[in-house]
Amino acid sequence: MVTHEDILKIAKLAKLEVEASELDGLTEDMNEIIAFADTIASVSAEEEAYTDINGLENVLREDTVQPGLSCDEVLANAKDTDDSSFVVRQHA
């Protein structure tokens, strides 16, 4: 269980100022965080297989090689080209 002294020690290490009026709330919050972490740590991953609560599945297609475009096809609609490149004007 976290105490007011623990909160003050943590605050000092973190170089934070904690007002006396904040101690009760911070102590309660820290104890809730630790209790939650303890709950998570106590669950065995082997007890039950993970299931997606939404029932979603990956619907990815297989990767297949497709023919690419030739350089001429890529540059066909370009405004300005230099043989095998797009020409991009620089604005000052």
- What is the DSSP secondary-structure string of 44-75? -TTSS----TT-----PPPP-------HHHHH
pLDDT tens figures, 53-90:
777 777 788 899 999 999 999 999 998 999 889 999 88
Distance CA(55)–CA(90), nearest Å, equals 52
pLDDT tens figures, 49-63:
666 677 777 778 889
Please give the pLDDT value at position 49: 63
pTM (2 d.p.): 0.48
Please give the pLDDT value at position 52: 65
